[in-house]
Amino acid sequence: MLTLHPLHGLPLIQPGDDLCALLGGALRSLAPQAGDVLVVTSKIVAKAEGRFVHLDEVTPSLEARRIAAQTRKDPRLVEVILSESQAVVRAVPNVLITRHRLGFISANAGVDHSNVAGEETTVLLLPRDPDASARQLRAGLHQRLGVWLGVVIADSHGRPHRLGTVGVAIGVAGIPGVEDWRGRPDLFGNRLQHTEIGFADMVASAATLVMGQAAEGIPAVLVRGLRFSPRDGSAAEIIRPPQLDLFP
């Protein structure tokens, strides 16, 4: 049976905080076991890594000013978004969608002010290397708890052609990012031909139902009862190569 266990009692994370120690302490009462997956929000990882930017310290480029005029956004914010992006996908009033430097498509390159304390001119970037952050958390938690957990770093993304944000995996360690089910039999013995499962994204989305999106104050969830083929995947493997993208 699949169960989701929120981690309560975590403090507001500050730059330099030891996430492994904080998460490890919160996990002990849940008696973590092999096969469990810990999902943590990208925000607490980014906060611990000090990924804050103060817009008052940003000088926008001419390109940032041009796009800011198109989108009606603060040119300083646009400059930060561009610094985190490979390319601009769409720029219209109130909307700026880019290909993030990590490869995925998202609004504002993940730059956000929600759930960020301080001045309105302070924004938070995504973790610098979420896959590496997930691996570090996994190793640190193993050292403290004596059990290997899967780790997913989750962020909230919109989706093309569909309304509403969902939780997705931007960092993965200890579980598959994508599971290839091609060749498996269906109920009637037919072999699956094209089925690849977005496993880490589904785990992230399930945990996000518990984490919430606003003032819930639950930045981590332990997921138990998952069935998967063990291997050490990554979020990078989830990204569709641009040459295979049918909607450039």
Q: Is the pLDDT of residue 85 over 90?
A: yes
pLDDT tens track for 86-129: 999 999 999 999 999 999 999 999 998 765 665 678 999 999 99
pLDDT attached to residue 192:
57
Contacting residues for 108 by C-beta, under 8 A, at least 6 apart: 77, 81, 96, 98
Topology classification of domain 3-51+127-239: 60s Ribosomal Protein L30; Chain: A; (3.30.1330)
Who wins on pLDDT, 184 or 5? 5
Residue-wise pLDDT for 166-215, tens only, equals: 999 999 999 999 877 555 666 656 665 566 778 999 999 999 999 976 55
What count of other Cβ atoms lies within 10 Å of the Cβ of residue 61?
Answer: 14
pLDDT, averaged across the chain: 90
What is the spatial distance between Cα 169 and Cα 151, in angstroms, rounded to a whole number? 10
CB 182 within 8 A of CB 194: yes
Domain positions in the chain: 3-51+127-239, 52-124
Q: What is the mean pLDDT of residues 128-142?
A: 97
* CATH 3.90.550.50 assigned to 52-124: no
Residue 25 neighbours by CB under 8 Å, 6+ apart: none
Q: Is the pLDDT of residue 46 over 70?
A: yes
